[in-house]
Amino acid sequence: MVSSRFLQDKSTSLKKELQFLKKIKTEEKYFLKKSKDTIAKRTNQMKETKNQAFDTVSLWGLYGRDDMKAFKSVTLPLFMSTTGGPFDSLVDGSLLLSYKTIDDPNKAYTRIDNQNPDHLAMKIAALEGLGVPQLTQGICTSSGMSAIMMATMPFLQSGDNFVSSNRVYGGTQQLYDVTYPKSGWQVRWIDKPWILSSWEKRIDKKTKFLFVESPSNPTLYIADLEALSKLAHKYNLPLIVDSTLASPALTRPFEYGADIVVHSISKIANGSCRAIGGALISLDKITTNIKSLRENFANQVKGGHFRNMGPCLSPFNAQIIWDELITLRLRVKQVSENAMNIAKYLEKHPKIEKVNYPGLISHPQHKIAKRLMKLPDGTNAYGHLLSFNIKGGLEKAKKFAENLDFGVQVTHLGGSYTVWVHNATTTHGQMTHDERKAAGIADNLIRYSVGLEGVTDAISALEKALNKV
């Protein structure tokens, strides 16, 4: 027979358990509400940026007076720590790590979230979102390559394919040609990406997205983003654009129908040449034949592939780039002016076979560039990068490289310093000769990234080197 004492004890412990569960529920409610409020505040801040000028957004981003008061700092402090925290309670920690509350980078492990990359992502997302009514969201990654991986992998399963222009950075070509096939993902290269029907022919039931790099490195192909996004959407696919070379100061691909934008922010986003980084920005709603990815793409990646694979951006690098973005438009305007002068000078030079620069009327997609490449005030500018072919083939290109005594010969671009390189032997050296030929990278091609130095110095150094060819 069960004693009444036993029943009394049992009822007391049940009561205690119920009280405990009630306390947890109340706490959960509190943190979930707090999270919802933070997300709502962020959403409002993102909405407010829609009415701001490019320069205001590139200066402040989403770091407002409330943050200044909280952190007692006029500029975003550096959160150089592996971990934020501490959690307010066990419930707080459990909700945060189960991704039910993702609002507070202060408390997260830096692989997952941290104030500096978070603020950087919001700033770039806001800049990319200027000019379109939809809200944007983003994540920053350890490099441009990892941003491309994070933007593309979530769409792919074994047996799937995607269609891409073959005018892409050498690293992207290697990723798609060498690494992705190991997972059963097939790239379908388009050799003449300016022919729209050639894209359409390669789309089938297993196609998951279209990918384009525009302007392309190093041949400066400019994609008709409007036409490509229309084509992608006709097949319920997203258009992913690598817009590294343009940066949001020159082209905001969402205005032309893109769904996802990726950047190597190691480049013009960050003139200092001090930090490697990447960014993936998506519209809040994208077109895709994968239902689960239609909403909140970048945030989903943050809680999925990004968190699980670990390509996080160092807070230190993030803060360098966040600061560099403050002068993005000014730098882009100046290097574009310099580049235009250099391109015009080179085009007239008798030892130059061809100049690739979207600002030149001779550029095959100049009309498209004129439509797409504009500073925020609407004036055309065509960016820092140009490339040119030296008459006489590889030997003459080598001679030119031996004699150019200006800027630096390195595999980089977009910094405030002039840098240049011979692509066939460096950036695209991993490609076969035939692959390079198909991608328009001849043996006599020089890629030249225009810096902020006085343009007359740059031109007189080019003149000297060309005289010796």
Ligand X SMILES: Cc1ncc(COP(=O)(O)O)c(C=O)c1O
Letters for 236-255 (x = contact with ligand X by CB under 6 A, - = none) are: ------x-xx----------
Q: Half-sphere exposure of 383 toward its Cβ, with a 13 Å CA cutoff? A: 35
With CB under 6 A as the contact rule, the residue among 110, 137, 152, 264 that binds ligand X is: 264
Q: Which stretch binds ligand X (CB under 6 A): 20-28, 164-172, 348-356, 393-401?
A: 164-172
Residues ≥6 apart with Cβ < 8 Å to 412: 266, 267, 273, 419, 449
The amino acid present at 40, given as its one-letter code, is: A
CB of 69 to ligand X, least distance (A): 35
147 or 298: CB nearest ligand X: 147
In the bound complex, what is the minimum distance in angstroms from residue 241's beta carbon to ligand X?
Answer: 10
Does position 217 interact with ligand X (CB under 6 A)? The reply is: yes
* Least Cβ distance, residue 118 to ligand X (angstroms): 19
Tell the smallest beta-carbon distance from residue 221 to ligand X (Å). 11
Region of 7-15, 138-146, 281-289, 308-316 interacting with ligand X (CB under 6 A): 138-146
338 binds ligand X per the rule CB under 6 A: no
- Asked if 144 is part of the footprint of ligand X (rule: CB under 6 A), the reply reads yes
Stretch touching ligand X by CB under 6 A, among 32-40, 169-177, 251-259, 430-438: 169-177
| Residue span 373-412 as binding mask against ligand X, x where in contact by CB under 6 A, dash where not | ----------------------------------------
| Nearest CA among 326, 216, 338 for reference residue 271 | 326
Residues within window 312-331 making contact with ligand X, judged by CB under 6 A: none
Contact residue for ligand X among 117, 129, 154, 278 (CB under 6 A): 278
Considering the rule CB under 6 A, would residue 440 count as an interface residue with ligand X?
no
**235: Cβ contacts below 8 Å, ≥ 6 apart:** 203, 207, 289
Residue with the closest Cβ to ligand X? 144
Segment near ligand X (CB under 6 A), from 36-44, 165-173, 186-194, 313-321? 165-173
Does position 169 interact with ligand X (CB under 6 A)? The reply is: yes
**Residue 84 vs 315, nearer CB to ligand X:** 315
Report in angstroms how near the CB of residue 147 gets to ligand X at its nearest.
8
What is the separation, in whole angstroms, between the first and last Cα of the chain?
107
Q: Are 277 and 322 in contact (CB under 8 A)?
A: no
Interface segment toward ligand X; rule CB under 6 A; list 21-29, 34-42, 69-77, 167-175: 167-175
**Shortest separation between residue 97's beta carbon and ligand X, angstroms:** 29
How buried is residue 133: exposed, middle or buried, by Cβ count under 10 Å (0-12/13-18/19+)?
exposed
Q: List Cα–Cα distances, 443 to 171, 177, 419, in angstroms.
A: 18, 21, 18
Chain contacts with ligand X (rule: CB under 6 A): 143-145, 169, 171-172, 213, 217, 242, 244-245, 264, 266, 276, 278
